[in-house]
Structure 1
Amino acid sequence: MLPARELHWRFSRASGPGGQGVNTTDSRVELSFDVAGSAALTEEQRRRALANLSGRLVGGVLTIVAAEHRSQLRNREAARERLAQTLRVALAPPPKPRRPTRPTVGAQRRRLAAKARRAAVKKLRGRPDE
């Protein structure tokens, strides 16, 4: 869980449905989190997050925008949930490298037999005089 003091909120007017209220309420939410300067992350977590989020960071800061709901409260919840999911994915350890394997002798034999059967079927489709 990230400390609230490290989250920076900005609110502005959202576009989209809302009738007359859309012109007066600041329902669009921008949630910013300074990944590079966060004290909540360990050095390893920070390194991994900076590497995995490099395309989304501006000056080491990750910004999430939510404007799909008409209320600011629901947009705040959506932005918080999206930030948590983004960080969860970025901080996940990399998968173990794949161990290369080879097909078994039986699998190779079955594959070649299937190819031969298919070739025979196609040969039968040819012209009779050939």
Structure 2
Amino acid sequence: MIQVTDTISIDENEIHEDFILASGPGGQNVNKVATAVQLRFDVLNSPSLPPEVRERLIRLAGSRMTKDGVLIITARRFRTQEGNREDALVRLIELVRRAMEKPKPRRRTTPKPAAKKRRLEEKRQRGATKRMRKPVSKADE
């Protein structure tokens, strides 16, 4: 079990890891050894996540989420498989923790009367400035 928070823990069987060739650090090893890890976590079918956390996680994941509801995290920062496995797991845990936080509800506000008055006065000033730039017509002379 991977402990995310005191209330949420993810079973290791829910996480699938594939090792792929990685670009970046590794020297000649980069073409021979699959050190990058692609972590897959089925968010939609996971019994570990409460429904509201699942919805927020899907929204937070963005393009990392497939159409089938599988979250894919690719880690290739380190030269070793173990380093990249740990990195991918840490990123998954961090994403789930961020999804745990309830967003603060937005409170609608209205502009103050003084701000409205100021805005309208600035519009009048701007209009007057633009009117002054017009060429003088024959009727106005």
| Cα deviation, residue 43, structure 1 | 4.5
Instruction: Flag the 1:110–1:118 CA change in 2: closer, same or farther, 3 A.
Output: same
Q: Is the 8 A contact 2:57 2:96 kept in 1?
A: no
* 1:26-46 CA-partner distances (Å, limit 9, x unpaired): 201011223234343234434
Residue of structure 1 aligned with 2:50, choices 32, 35, 42: 42
Instruction: Name the residue aligned to 1:86.
Output: 95
Structure 1 gaps of 5+ residues are: none
* 1:73-92 CA-partner distances (Å, limit 9, x unpaired): 33223212321233234444
Separation (CA, whole Å) in 1 of partners of 2:40 and 2:79: 20
| Cα deviation, residue 16, structure 1 | 4.2
Aligned pair count reads 128
Q: Is the 8 A contact 2:11 2:48 kept in 1?
A: no
Q: Any residues of structure 2 matched to 1:54-93 within 5 Å, and which?
A: 56-57=65-66, 59-93=68-102
Instruction: Flag the 1:115–1:43 CA change in 2: closer, same or farther, 3 A.
Output: closer
TM-score (norm 1): 0.70
Instruction: Name the residue aligned to 1:32.
Output: 40
Structure 2 gaps of 5+ residues are: none
Separation (CA, whole Å) in 1 of partners of 2:24 and 2:51: 41
Instruction: Flag the 1:115–1:28 CA change in 2: closer, same or farther, 3 A.
Output: same
- What percent of counterpart residues are identical? 40
Instruction: Flag the 1:120–1:45 CA change in 2: closer, same or farther, 3 A.
Output: closer
| Cα deviation, residue 117, structure 1 | 1.6
Instruction: Flag the 1:64–1:119 CA change in 2: closer, same or farther, 3 A.
Output: same
Separation (CA, whole Å) in 2 of partners of 1:28 and 1:42: 30
Residue of structure 2 aligned with 1:105, choices 113, 126, 129: 113
Separation (CA, whole Å) in 1 of partners of 2:66 and 2:32: 31
Instruction: Name the residue aligned to 1:10.
Output: 18
